[in-house]
């Protein structure tokens, strides 16, 4: 696409929107400005390509397409079949997967599809067997009671939240915590690393139906071969949530024991984050689970979003290009450089560094909570998110950590030298920020003090740092 074509496409789109609701058009333009001027260090965010963004704004949005390719509950889905089949084909080829299901609207939806697919495949009960063959009308009240008891009384073993796990891995605030009897494995208190012997011990004791690997805030590689061996030893289905690091798998930075696809029975992911696609989810699985996975709609999903599946097909095609592997490697190079820059300046990092796209800073060394640090950095033009650290004394709301990642800045073209400068800006802000107090004089976990002049200075320096690396340089909305 030419520079003029990109600029014309987005400028024209905003003109059409502005004619109906100018405030929406203004908000869209303001978001682009904010993203251009801020150091985006949220590990779960990225910048999708103009082609990916444009693939979402079209007539596919108007189609209902319940079912799967060639088996729809609505007529007129031949073009939806085309884009869904293309997205699934690109996913299979990119990840070397036997089967791909590209309908999930998010990572949470992808996980729900996976959980219910495993339950339907593994749980033995007469009521479930009737339900699987769609004889729902034949189910008695006793059958439904037995079905609820079977499906709601299974066990899941996954990484604890404070060690880097995710809410959708069986924790109470999420529906997965109500579906499963969940137990967590943590990390070694001394190193912050997964202790596989302890995971194996927990699996032998707990005997889960599902062993979950994957994370949202663990800064190291995971050995999926060992976790599969643990799952096999107790007869568990091994599921991996690779939402955060899918781009590193696609780009062949994570291979062998560190690539989950050859080892897991079922793998879930988002399509944004390090994969750099549209917001959405995806499930990859072994052939024996394919039929159950393909029942995701209407099992747990609403109607598929064909316009997003079209964007997934575009983004996955982009990820199959040779330059994506270079991008994925630069993500990790930048992450390591950012970690090293912080360490040299005295920051405390969980596990002492990183092997992947993210870094987890324990900001208690600066005398701050994660919430205080997050807001002080935002005041200074640096966008991050607070996150728990292992054995976090401040809990999941205030936290003691800041999670940062490099996928977005790497997309913009920043390199290791700029990561060191970013570390300097962050360290300056965190050092200059002090914890505040409540009205009664007690320490506050939310209030903080930071000289506004310093915050403005750092924000200007952040903008200057980004200036040689314009975001969407072909797009001019003026």
Catalytic residue ranges: 64, 66, 241, 270, 273, 279
Q: How far apart are CA 176 and CA 152, in angstroms?
A: 10
**24 backbone dihedrals φ, ψ, rounded to 5°:** -70, -45
CA distances from 118 to 73, 83, 285, 334 (A): 24, 27, 11, 37
Q: How far apart are CA 71 and CA 277, in angstroms?
A: 26
Residue with tokens 């709601």: 152
DSSP summary character for residue 98: S
Asked if residue 448 lies in contact with residue 399, where contact means CB atoms within 8 angstroms, the answer is no
* Helices 224-233, 196-206: inter-axial angle, 10-degree rounding: 20
Closest CA to 84 of 316, 324, 277: 316
Residues paired with residue 404 on neighbouring β-strands, in sequence order: 359
Q: How far apart are CA 302 and CA 296, in angstroms?
A: 9
Q: How far apart are CA 112 and CA 210, in angstroms?
A: 13
Strand arrangement of the beta sheet that strand 401-405 belongs to: 348-349, 358-362, 401-405, 385-387
Residue with tokens 């100018």: 22
Q: How far is CA 103 from the centre of its chain?
A: 16
341: Cβ–Cβ under 8 A, 6 or more apart, which residues? 419, 420, 422, 423, 424
């Amino acid at each position: 696409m030419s520079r003029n074509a990109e600029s014309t496409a987005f400028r024209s789109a905003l003109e059409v929107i502005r004619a109906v609701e100018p405030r929406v058009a203004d908000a869209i333009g303001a978001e682009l400005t904010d993203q251009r001027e801020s150091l985006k260090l949220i590990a779960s965010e990225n910048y999708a390509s103009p082609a990916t963004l444009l693939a979402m704004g079209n007539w596919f949005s108007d189609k209902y397409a319940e079912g799967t390719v060639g088996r729809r509950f609505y007529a007129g889905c031949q073009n939806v079949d085309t884009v869904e089949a293309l997205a699934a084909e690109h996913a299979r080829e990119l990840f070397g997967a036997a089967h791909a299901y590209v309908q999930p609207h998010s990572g949470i939806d992808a996980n729900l599809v996976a959980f219910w697919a495993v339950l339907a495949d593994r749980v033995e009960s007469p009521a479930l067997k009737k339900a699987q063959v769609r004889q729902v009308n034949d189910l008695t009240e006793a059958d439904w009671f037995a079905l609820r008891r079977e499906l709601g009384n299974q066990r899941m073993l996954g990484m604890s939240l404070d060690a880097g796990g995710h809410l959708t891995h069986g924790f109470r605030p999420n529906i997965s915590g109500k579906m499963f009897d969940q137990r967590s494995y943590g990390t070694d208190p001394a190193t912050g690393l997964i202790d596989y012997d302890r995971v194996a011990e927990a699996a032998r004791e707990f005997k889960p139906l599902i062993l979950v690997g994957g994370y949202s805030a663990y800064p190291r590689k995971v050995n999926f071969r060992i976790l599969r061996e643990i799952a096999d030893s107790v007869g568990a289905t091994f599921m991996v949530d690779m939402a955060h690091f899918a781009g590193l798998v696609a780009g062949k930075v994570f291979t062998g024991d560190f690539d989950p696809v050859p080892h897991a029975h079922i793998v879930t992911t988002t399509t944004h984050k390090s994969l750099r696609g549209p917001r959405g989810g995806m499930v990859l699985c072994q052939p024996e689970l394919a039929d159950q996975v393909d029942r995701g709609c209407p099992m747990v999903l609403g109607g598929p979003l064909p316009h997003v599946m079209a964007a997934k097909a575009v983004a996955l095609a982009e990820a199959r290009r040779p330059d994506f592997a270079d991008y994925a490697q630069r993500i990790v190079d930048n992450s390591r450089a950012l970690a090293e820059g912080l360490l040299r300046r005295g920051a405390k990092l969980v596990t002492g560094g990183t092997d992947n796209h993210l870094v987890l800073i324990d900001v208690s060394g600066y005398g701050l909570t994660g919430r205080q640090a997050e807001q002080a950095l935002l005041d200074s033009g640096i966008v991050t998110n607070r996150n728990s650290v292992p054995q976090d004394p401040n809990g999941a709301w205030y936290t003691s950590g800041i999670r940062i990642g490099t996928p977005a800045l790497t997309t913009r073209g920043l390199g290791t030298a700029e990561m060191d400068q970013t570390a300097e800006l962050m360290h300056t802000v965190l050092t200059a920020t002090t914890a505040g107090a409540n009205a009664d004089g007690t320490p506050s976990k939310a209030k903080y003090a930071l000289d506004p002049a310093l915050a403005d200075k750092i924000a200007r320096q952040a903008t200057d740092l980004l200036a040689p690396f314009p975001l969407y340089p072909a797009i001019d909305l003026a």
